Amino acid sequence: MCRANVLSVARNNLQRRSVRSWIMIFFVFVLAVALFLGTVLASSMRAGLDKTVNRLGADVMVVPKEYERDMADALFLGEMCDFTFDRDWIAPITQIDGIAAVSPQLYMESLAASCCSAQTQLIAFDPDTDFIITSWLADDDIPMPKRGEMIIGHDIEPETPGEIDFFDQPYKVVGQLEKTGTNYDVCVFMTYETAQDIMSSDKWYEVFRENPDASQLISSLTIRTEEGVDPKDVARTINFHLADNCPIAAYTTNGIMSGAMDTVVSMTGYSTVLLVMIGLLVVAALVCIFTITINERAREFGILAALGIHGKTLSGIVLSEGLLIGATGGVLGSAFSVAILLIFGNSFATVMELPKLNKEPLYLLIVGLICVALSVLISLAASLYAAGKVNRHHLDTLIRGEEL
């Protein structure tokens, strides 16, 4: 029998037992959905982390003690922060060996109120010392903002083009950064002078009951180490020079992100274990169904063999059923996962605190193809036992319909 005929017989067999077939397809579907979503979520999380670390561009960060976790959450998860410490700490740190550049940043939160265009993280930087945001502006060909001007992240959409409001004051938007796939896409950047204007505003006072001097405040001190110097050594040296009771501490960027990285690693591990278990369960379920089915159909296979069909062809029919079940389940599972990601992707990202889900068509296509291939492989593996039994057993046993 030619291959097309084998597939056609297999398809007819599946259609004939539609309930059984759909149950088997459902098992593979569940596996494909788990594989697809698990892969996309885990890789999006890892990609978000990597991009954030790369985008950050600093080797060491000085933040208030015990706020390193908040800093990581702000960088990776987009949680807003507004911790500060005094600018006077810059001088002693700058003198430490191995440091190539030091630049302060100040974080402010805008409000989810009519006074602000969006509730977002406002980041002030010092154009004279900055080595991070300045390079982004240069890359995206955006001019350095002056007092009263702002640069917005890619995902910020001002109601009025070219203008954005914070604390009842309008600010001119002089540039929008390219998409980065990190939480910087929803941040707004300005110089310390503009930050001073915001903190001096009446609305700021109305909300926070104070008008602090922005020029004296730092949320984080970003440090670039000299070439060949280990950031860990620099962080250790800074912490050594700082008094025990000082309110700040230095952390390597990787150290700050290590919590999130550990989470990603452990999540990936759990997800892999879960996927392997689901895979094994699906294989076990399919093996059971295939075995029960071929026992039920032993006589049918026997008659086909008695009519002169090759034993390998009988195995081929069972394997083709496995192939069709795997392919159908895999394609449906992948398609369903893509639909879920496209429709509920943002909600997923919010619930799972992901900076961004990778929804690029080519990436989804590749993951989909891999899921379909794995689904087919697993389904074929599950049908192998039954296919072998059909081929191995003697015709008389088959025709008598005895259990294989």
Partner 1 sequence: MVEVQHLSKTFGADTVVLKDINLHVKKNEVVAILGPSGTGKSTLLRCLNYLCEPTSGIIRVGNVTVDASKHTRREVRNLRRQSAMVFQNYNLFKNKTAKQNVMEALLTVQKKSRSEAEEIALKLLDKVGMLDRKDFYPSKMSGGQQQRVGIARAMAVNSDVLLFDEPTSALDPELVGEVLNTIKTLAEENATMILVTHEVRFARNVASRVIFMEDGQIAADGTPEEIIDHPDNPRLQRFLNFITN
Q: How far is the CB of 27 from partner 1 (least distance, A)?
A: 23
- Which residues, in sequence order, are bridge partners of residue 171? 164
Q: How far is the CB of 309 from partner 1 (least distance, A)?
A: 6
Q: Which residue's structure tokens are 């100040």?
A: 106
Distance separating alpha carbons of residues 238 and 232, to the nearest angstrom: 10
- What string marks each residue from 336 to 375 as x (binds partner 1 by CB under 8 A) or -? ----------------------------------------
Which residue's CB is nearer to partner 1, number 116 or number 309?
309
State how far Cα 298 lies from the chain centre.
48
Q: In which element (H, E) is residue 121 found?
A: strand 121-125
Segment contacting partner 1 by CB under 8 A, of 77-85, 104-112, 233-241, 301-309:
301-309
- Please report, in angstroms and rounded to a whole number, the separation of the first and last CA atoms in the chain: 24
Interface size with partner 1, residues (CB under 8 A): 21
Q: What string marks each residue from 309 to 328 as x (binds partner 1 by CB under 8 A) or -?
A: xxx-----------------
Decide if residue 5 touches partner 1 (CB under 8 A): yes
Selected from 170, 347, 394, 403, the binder of partner 1 by CB under 8 A is 394
Site for partner 1 in 270-299 (CB under 8 A): 299
Shortest Cβ distance from residue 355 to partner 1 (Å)?
54
Residues 6+ apart with CB under 8 A from 80: 74, 107, 109, 119, 120, 121
Q: How are strands ordered across the β-sheet holding 149-152? A: 163-166, 169-176, 149-152, 187-191, 121-125, 99-109, 220-225, 60-64, 248-252
* Nearest to 167, CA basis, from 199, 129, 143: 199
Residue 1 engages partner 1 in binding (rule: CB under 8 A): yes
C-alpha–C-alpha distance, residues 385 and 381, integer Å: 8
Residue choice 19, 307, 351, 362 for contact with partner 1 (CB under 8 A): 307
Nearer to partner 1, 356 or 393 (CB): 393
* Contact residues for partner 1, defined by CB under 8 A: 1-2, 5, 9, 16, 299-300, 302-311, 394-396, 399
